[in-house]
């Protein structure tokens, strides 16, 4: 890691915890002159129905094609719209959408793109719930190739 960090990775999912992480990363980026990558990881098992709300009824093939287009376009994803508001006036911002298991993909992205620091939101689960269910945040903390800041 370089200090101060040059590239921050902020996983987003539209949750309040992610919004707090984005705001924190925005402050850090402005102070350090760093760029920010907003990363949305879609699990193939879970579709974000809020993104699809404007799709009219289509045939099966057309429907799947429309889903793919909407789910791969940051401009049509409300999580990016809210994240950019929370980020503030950061000069260099990238928006990325990838598919896969979230914690694994976040760590892989950080490694492949030479990210200096990951800033991730905490879901705020109880200790018992986190023990039973695990969390993306916990998995990222254990497997990230760079420092991780968890924002509560």
CATH at residue 50: 3.40.50.620
Residue 65 included in any domain = yes
Global pTM reads 0.82
Residue of 43, 53, 45, 25 whose CA lies nearest to 115: 25
Q: Cα–Cα distance between 69 and 91 in angstroms, integer?
A: 27
Q: What is the pLDDT of residues 138-149, one digit of tens each?
A: 999 999 999 999
Residue 43 included in any domain = yes
Prior bond of 4 cis (ω within 30°): yes
Total structural domains within the chain:
1
Residue 143 included in any domain = no
Secondary structure letter of residue 116 according to DSSP: S
State the pLDDT at residue 135: 87
Q: Cα–Cα distance between 105 and 12 in angstroms, integer?
A: 13
Q: Cα–Cα distance between 33 and 90 in angstroms, integer?
A: 8
Give 33-80 as a DSSP string.
T-EEEEEEEE-TT---GGGGTTPPP--HHHHHHHHHHHHT-GGG-HHH
Question: Domain range for residue 54?
Answer: 7-138
Q: Cα–Cα distance between 120 and 86 in angstroms, integer?
A: 14
Calculate mean pLDDT across residues 15-23: 94
% of the chain beyond a pLDDT of 70: 74
Residue 116 included in any domain = yes
State the pLDDT at residue 76: 84
Q: What is the pLDDT of residues 70-84, one digit of tens each?
A: 778 898 888 899 999
Residue 50 included in any domain = yes
Q: What is the pLDDT of residues 25-43, one digit of tens each?
A: 999 999 999 999 999 998 8
């Amino acid at each position: 890691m370089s200090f101060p960090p040059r590239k921050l990775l902020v996983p987003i999912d539209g949750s309040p915890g992610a919004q707090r992480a984005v705001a924190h990363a925005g402050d850090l980026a402005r102070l350090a002159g760093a760029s920010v990558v907003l990363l949305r990881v879609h699990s193939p098992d879970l579709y974000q129905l809020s993104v699809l709300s404007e799709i009219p009824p289509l045939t099966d093939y057309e429907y799947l094609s429309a889903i793919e287009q909407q789910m791969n376009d940051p401009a049509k994803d409300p999580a990016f719209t809210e994240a950019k508001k929370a980020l503030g006036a950061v000069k260099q911002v990238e928006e990325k959408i990838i598919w896969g298991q979230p914690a694994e993909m976040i760590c892989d992205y950080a490694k492949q793109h030479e990210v200096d620091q990951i800033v991730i939101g905490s879901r705020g689960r109880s200790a018992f719930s986190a023990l039973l269910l695990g969390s993306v945040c916990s998995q990222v903390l254990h497997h990230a190739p760079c420092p991780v800041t968890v924002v509560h």
